[in-house]
Amino acid sequence: MADQINSLEELGEAAGMADMAAAPEAVTREPVRDDLGRSYATGKRKDAVARVWIKPGSGKFLIRDNKGEFVDYTKYFARPVLQMILRQPFQVAGVTGQFDVMATVKGGGLSGQAGAVKHGISKALQLYDPSLRAALKAAGFLTRDSRVVERKKYGKAKARKSFQFSKR
């Protein structure tokens, strides 16, 4: 029993790795931008999909509506709660009013579309400036909310609701 290992250093020596304290190099992320200085990302929530472009600017925020025209986000998302959702990534990252946003949204309802745009903005901000990733990830904005409507099953009225039981 003399060959017993009592610490991590001894384990490293036994495994042939004399220097376990040397951690692997941290991943350095490069900014991802196109020729016009924009970053692009796709955000998703429920059935909604948002294509989002951000670039440095004065804080202009445009959403492409169903007619193909760009309108201000306060007109497209009239409810204050949805407008607050869209501003959250900029507030968490501390870059409020520094980026212009152009977004195209399809599918779902307004709430899902707002969540999709928020997800897209967060991913695009992280691609534009990788140093913002830690704050956005800690706030949970880079994680796609994967909850979707459950499909209807055969023999059921809805996804889980059964037809009324009849004894006779």
Looking at residue 76, what is its pLDDT?
A: 95
Q: State the total domains in the chain.
A: 1
Q: How many CA atoms lie within 13 A of 51 on its CB side?
A: 4
Strand ranges of the sheet holding 39-45, from the earlier edge strand across to the other edge: 39-45, 48-56, 99-106, 61-64, 70-72
Domain membership flag for residue 129:
yes
- Is the pTM higher than 0.95? The answer reads no
Q: What is the CATH number of the domain that holds 111?
A: 3.30.230.10
Q: Is residue 54 part of a domain?
A: yes
Residue 154 belongs to a domain = no
Q: pLDDT per residue over 135-159, tens digit each?
A: 999 999 999 988 999 999 999 999 9
Q: Is residue 90 part of a domain?
A: yes
Residue keyed to tokens 């931008």: 33
The residue range of the domain holding 49 is 30-136
**From CA 26, how far away is CA 110, in angstroms rounded?**
39
Residue 163 lies in a domain: no
Whether 86 is covered by a domain: the verdict is: yes
- Encode the chain (168 residues) as per-residue pLDDT tens digits: 557 777 777 776 777 665 545 556 677 888 888 889 899 999 999 999 999 999 999 999 999 987 889 999 999 999 999 999 999 999 999 999 999 999 999 999 999 999 999 999 999 999 999 999 999 999 999 999 889 999 999 999 999 999 999 988
